Amino acid sequence: MFRFAAIATLASSVLIGGCLPPPPGHFGSFVTPVTPDEYGQRLCRHLDLEDYSGCLSEVLDYFEAPRPDDLPYGRNSNAGPIAMVLDQQVYLGRYDATPLVTRFRVTQGEKYCQGGYDAFAGSTDTILAVRCSDGRRGRADLTSALDGRNGIGRLELEDGTQAKIVFGYTALGQAEPYPYVHWSDPND
């Protein structure tokens, strides 16, 4: 019995650690190291080249600034801000996650996208079914950073449009007010 439990624990650790290829349908692993540069690239990629470096510097400065460790715990341990760059625009919102149910909703003005999976309703994997207010549908795959409370993801809509996702308090602080205000609207 002990030997079986040890082997199961080791196998789970390898899978969770991202050493095995992702399951079919997933864009990436379940857990991965994420650097401030990666968060910045995802949050700033919608900008023109001349504004991109300023945005990336702002994101890196945000990570270098000392902040108190006042991340919410309890119900908010697996919930928080989420940002998605879709069609050259930043959508902001909130995600709520548990091992069996995850949901998110992001908005940009009147437009929104929302998605989720629910194992209790028959979802068989952690790919989030997504629908947007303009009628487009697709799927999102989220990958946690090593701390388990932040991370990155990717949305792919049926029409081939892709979006990058960043979530968590460490990466975003909070969705409202968005910490990277100078770079949230490429038309400013």
pLDDT digits (tens, 9 = 90+) for 6-60: 333 333 433 444 444 444 444 455 678 888 889 888 888 888 888 888 888 888 8
d(CA 65, CA 169): 14
pLDDT tens for each residue of the chain, 188 residues long: 333 333 333 334 334 444 444 444 444 556 788 888 898 888 888 888 888 888 888 888 888 876 655 555 555 567 888 999 999 898 999 988 877 888 899 999 999 999 988 777 776 666 788 999 999 999 998 888 887 778 898 999 999 999 999 988 878 876 556 566 555 554 44
Average pLDDT in the chain: 75
HEC string of the chain equals CHHHHHHHHHHHHHHHCCCCCCCCCCCCCCECCCCHHHHHHHHHCCCCHHHHHHHHHHHHHHHHCCCCCCCCCHHHHHEEEEEEEECCEEEEEEEEECCCEEEEEEEECCEEEEEEEEHHHCCCCCCEEEEECCCCEEEEEEEECCCCCCEEEEEEECCCCEEEEEECHHHHCCCCCCCCHHHCCCCC
